[in-house]
Chains A and B, each alone.
Chain A
Amino acid sequence: MAVDVAALAIPTTQEVVHSPWSMFWWRIRHNPKAIVGAVIVVLLLVVAITAPVIAPHDPTDGELADSLAPPGQGYLLGADKNGRDILSRLIYGTRTALGGALMIVIISEVIGVPIGIWAAYRGGWVDETITRVWDMLLAFPPLLLAFAVVAAFGPGLPKAALALGILYVPFIARVVRSVTLVQKEMAYTEAARALGYGQGRIIFRHILPNCVSPIIVVSSIDFAYALLDLAALSYLGLGVQPPTPDWGTMLSEGQLVLLTSPHVALAAGLAIVVAVLGFNLLGDGLRDVLDPRQAQR
């Protein structure tokens, strides 16, 4: 960051124009965490999208004769108990994992962003009540309440994702509220108000665009948490149901044959670690890039 400032301060013969985008790219390129995270995330996306093309076998159809085949001939990463190709299941599992986590993050945003803006904008008892409730919920682990949801509504990915999505609302709403509080007092918001613009226009044209970068940072970190929570639910048999290829389910199946065929559990577990690591690093890196003040702390 210091180099950045120094470079800007040196008078040059040519007028150098730094657009916000070029600054953004410059910072990204000089942030190893963001680069590694972005590479992992992009790779995961590519794998998820091209799954039918790159998967060597059918992920749900196995040859029982190849049950628990070791990595190597025919199966790059071996086969599971039902003789299904582990690599193909991992590849399709990327879809389940990213899809589930995306659902959680989107649900939390669709509910959380308006609540955050509303709380900050209305102030008074509305703000007070809303912040009180989410402060309480923030203290309590989402996964525990998700257990109760599964017990009531039954297992399955959509239900688990909906429950977790709602429980993630405070994470995003809190950030949006604090950004809105600052933007609300900015001179340009005041100017817009003085010009007689309606509240809707001020919120959508002035406040929301300023919330975008903190929302991106929080989403990336929430994505990592969502992957972990979903994997935990599936591992416990409460999330994704077989035979859908899913990393958490694969891990729990792999644990049953851990002594004889550790490759099943290892492959699934490493996939989770890599994906979570990718989103964690990307989130951390983006925070450094988009919010340098906070990152220096």
Chain B
Amino acid sequence: MARLILTRLVTLIPLMFLITSIVFFMVRFVPGDPARIMVGGQRISEQNLANIRAQYRLDQPLLTQYRLWVGDLLSGNLGRSYRQRTEVTTLIVERLPLTAKLSAFSFLLALLIALPLGVLAAVHRNTWIDVGATIFAVLVASSPVFFTGILLILIFSYTLGWLPALGAGEGGLDTVKHLFLPALTLGISLAAITTRVTRSSMVEALTQDYIETARAKGLPARIVILKHAFRNALIPIVTVFGLLFGFLIVGTVLVEHTFGLGGLGSLLIDAVQVRDYPVVQGATVFIAGLFILINLLVDVLYAIIDPRVRFGGKA
């Protein structure tokens, strides 16, 4: 296991390095004064500009800047927002819980939609259930998450009046109520992808010899499907859910914007809109780090589920 984690780290750490370097150098290669770009092009006195140059070490050679910046990163210092006059780390810590709740909630809903729908479609192959599940998956996958969200707001908030359309609520049950629509929006979109994988994985499992054997033994259909087929179909499904983390990140950014939620995603987008580069830089690096951590976690989980991975065989 330790070897597996180590080999994954060897590939994941360069990704982190690549992304941090891209976001670091980008703003410095833009034509014009990086200090002016960092403050979002607003009017500012020469004295203040000089202060910013000193604060972001823009008056030093590029490689020195980079070395110092990476040093800061490693000690957990992501810099300081120009607009909000706060540490980027503080801003992230404030915003993270909401995004974490939204992601977990969406993921749960995606599982609750995709697994039953995929299994049903596979068991009732080529019936209206199967066709319906496919049409659902194709249509939802073609709809941008923010439009799916707008449709859900129209239906569940404005027409039926069941759920609130905006904001994150006052905590407890109220938060669950407020987060339900955004989570459902993301959950449906995630489910569109995973339903198809669940279906094809189940179809393959159902055609195996051991299923025939189980049926011939006279086991009830429910047990054959859930215990014999589904268990074996699970590995590709877990892989796909793991791979969807990137999709989930972008999804939360968009959905937070649609539903007016003040999470990490809106922090990033607000900063992009006012071109508060330190925040964009810090948030992107933070998300990249999170991304790598989760990828590592998925790999470990995967090795726990499938012994073939653990022992170095080919899955």
Contact = CB atoms under 8 A, between A and B. Distances in A.
B248 to A, nearest CB: 9
Interface stretch (A17-25, A201-209, A254-262, A286-294): A254-262
Contact of B146 (A143, A144, A251): A251
A277 B144 CA distance: 11
B277 A273 contact: no
A147 interface: yes
Interface string B256-273: 011000000000110111
Interface stretch (B14-22, B64-72, B73-81, B307-315): B14-22
B280 interface: yes
Given A236-B257, A255-B258, A151 B142 contact: no
B198 interface: no
B275 A154 contact: yes
A147 B146 contact: no
A84 to B, nearest CB: 20
Interface string B7-34: 0000100110011001100110010000
Contact of A144 (B142, B249, B276): B249
Nearest to A277: B142
A136 interface: yes
Interface in A78-99: none
B250 A277 contact: no
A277 B31 CA distance: 39
Interface residues of B, number: 48
A140 B291 contact: yes
A139 B243 CA distance: 8
A137 B246 CA distance: 11
Interface string B279-313: 01100100110010001000000000000000000
A276 interface: yes
B276 to A, nearest CB: 8
Interface stretch (B45-53, B102-110, B149-157, B208-216): B149-157
A145 B268 CA distance: 11
Contacts of A231: 144
B144 A228 contact: yes
Given A136-B18, A151-B275, A152-B37, 17 more contacts: A132-B14, A139-B295, A144-B249, A144-B250, A147-B272, A149-B26, A151-B272, A152-B275, A154-B41, A154-B275, A236-B269, A255-B150, A258-B153, A262-B154, A262-B158, A272-B144, A276-B143
7 contacts: A132-B11, A140-B19, A235-B254, A235-B257, A269-B151, A273-B143, A273-B147
Interface of A: 132-133, 135-137, 139-141, 143-145, 147-154, 224, 228, 231-232, 235-238, 248, 251, 254-255, 258-259, 262, 265-266, 269, 272-273, 276-277, 280-281
Interface of B: 11, 14-15, 18-19, 22-23, 26-27, 30, 37, 41, 138-139, 141-144, 146-147, 150-151, 153-154, 158, 246-247, 249-250, 253-254, 257-258, 268-269, 271-273, 275-277, 280-281, 284, 287-288, 291, 295
